[in-house]
Structure 1
Amino acid sequence: MREDEGAGGLPEELRELGRSLRVPDVDGESMAERVLAQLLAERVPAPVAVAETETERWGWLRRRWRSLLAALSGVLVVAVLTPPVRAAVVEWLGVGGVAVEYVPGAPPVAPAKVPGCPEPVPAAEAARRAGFEPLLPEGAVGAVTAVTGRAPRAVLGVCWRTAEGAVVRLDEFPGELDPGFVKETRVQPEPVLLADGTAAYWFAEPHRLTFPLTSADGRWRHEVRAAGPTLLWVRPSSGLTLRLEGIPDRTEALRVAASVR
């Protein structure tokens, strides 16, 4: 019997194992695939002593198989525990131009004030810069608009104050915005419906928000801040992503969102 006959099925078994391991992709390639590729590239050398019987040969293969499984499991555990890789080994949800990263083990985020719209501009100017008309909710007394970036990668903000003086912010941007918003939350958002049946997500707890800004020289950069309770949805007619922050009551947030025109 040829020396590699008994081991012929091992690479295929490794590939089947890789397909069954559900680890999120990292740079387009799963961690399992990368580990398996390395194992297969460094083919396990044959034992020094030739096995005398087929039973002894398969016994050696079973021991080698167990050692490969142990090595692979160890690499995957390290991937989960290593901070640079941790962000990839989580659940992701895409809502329009927002990526939602669910990290149940993340530390709690302290509540923070909702930022207003710096350097507000007239609605007509905001529309020109953003490439679309700003959507305004009913009852937003004294609302102002501000724009970050330019079409087609502009973020248009609408800001106003409630009767109690709290700041409310409605961010609007194309669904394909790149780079866009990233929310990191330790509590999964709650799926909800607007009055017209549009699907939305309610983030009840404070969470970390990464968002794009443009620097003085026109280059994009990212800022990170704590965000409070937020309602997130996509307007089907325009494809715009809308993000409403500053209304801690879910029912009221849904009412305001339904009035956006």
Structure 2
Amino acid sequence: MLSPQLDVPPAAEQAATVRQRLEAQQRLQARTQPIARWRARILYPRWRAALIVALTVVALAVAIPQSRAAIAHVLRLDGVELHQAPGPSPAPHPSLPGEQRMSLGQARQRVAFPILVPTTLGQPTAVTVSDSGRVATLIYDRAPYGEVRLDEFDGHLDPVYFEKFVRVGSVTEVSVNGTKGLWVTGPQEIVYVRSDGMIVQASARLTTGNTLIWGTRRVALRLEGGFSKTAALAVAASAG
């Protein structure tokens, strides 16, 4: 039996107090539970999983030499791709698909793009057309820089491209007649890729000099020879 001196609030006041406390607790839980659920269900597992995957990839890339070799920097310009990755040793000068030797006049009739001829090099020693008229090649055997090869291909209407694996050397961005170009020093492995995307392994060859790559609105060009960057830029400027 309760003491008559104990001050007990009325039943209505007790119910109101309890209800207020319950409502306050519910409001606090409503504010904190979404954050807790987000941290528990989204933040922690996803970050843990991403971190584990990232660390696994890095560990594999560092531990396996083949993985380190496969991490390659890629530069793209007018359908020409440069991959800084190793590759098999190709034959020195294999033919491109469907390559046919002809005169410069005949070549200009066979292709759908203008064939540019550098004035500093004069008339080419040999001219070939490949890949159903999509690629024209000018070869100079008696140039001041030794043997010089100029590959020109349709880089706008029906693009084809070379995939170049830079094995030894470096790549530098240059300006050719006001447009962006690439200067590549050292031997490079070149693999021709047809317009339908098929890689022609038989066309792989190893360059013997330096390479300048640039393009116009209609043609992408790749100049190869034993010249310096300054000389190569002068040759390119004379091609228009």
Rg comparison, structure with higher value: 2
Q: Which residue in the other structure is 2:38 paired with?
A: 8
- Structure 1 residue 239: Cα displacement: 3.1
Q: Which residue of 2 aligns with 1:202?
A: 183
* 1:124 alignment partner in structure 2: 105
2:147 is matched with which residue? 167
Q: Deviations over 1:11-60 (max 9, x none)?
A: 754xxxxxxxxxxxxxxxxxxxxxxxxxxxxxxxxxxxxxxxxxxxxxxx
Q: Is the 8 A contact 1:204 1:248 kept in 2?
A: no
Structure 2 match to 1:258: 237
Deviation at 1:100, TM superposition (A): 1.4
**What amino acid sits opposite 1:146 in the alignment?**
T
Structure 2 unpaired stretches of 5+: 1-28
Contact 1:204 1:229 in 2 (8 A): yes
Paired letter, 1:69: L
Looking at structure 2, the residues matched to 79 and 251 of structure 1 have their Cα atoms a distance apart, in angstroms, of: 39
Whether 2:231 is the aligned partner of 1:249: answer no
Once residues 247 and 256 of structure 1 are traced to their aligned partners in structure 2, the CA distance between those partners, rounded to angstroms, is 12
Aligned-residue offset at 1:91: 2.1
2:166 is aligned to 185
In the alignment of these two chains, the number of paired residues is: 200
CA RMSD of superposed structures (Å): 3.9
Sequence identity, in percent?
27
Distance 2:41 2:160 in 1: 40
- Give me the whole-angstrom Cα distance separating, in 2, the residues matched to 1:79 and 1:160: 44
* Structure 1 residue identity aligned to 2:60: V
Cα 1:188/1:128, change in 2 over 3 Å: same
More strand by share: 2
For the structure 1 residues 258 and 108, does the alpha-carbon distance in structure 2 shift closer, same or farther, using more than 3 Å as the test? farther
State the secondary structure of the residue aligned to 2:220: strand
Partner residue, 1:226: 206
Q: Per the alignment, do residues 74 and 173 of structure 1 end up closer, same or farther by CA in structure 2, a change over 3 Å counting?
A: same
Q: CA deviation at 1:146?
A: 0.9
Q: 1:234 to 1:184 in 2, by over 3 A?
A: same
Deviation (angstroms), 1:221: 2.3
TM-score (norm 2): 0.65
Q: Once the 2 structures are TM-superposed, how far is the Cα of residue 171 of structure 1 from its aligned partner?
A: 0.5
Post-superposition offset of 1:231 = 0.6
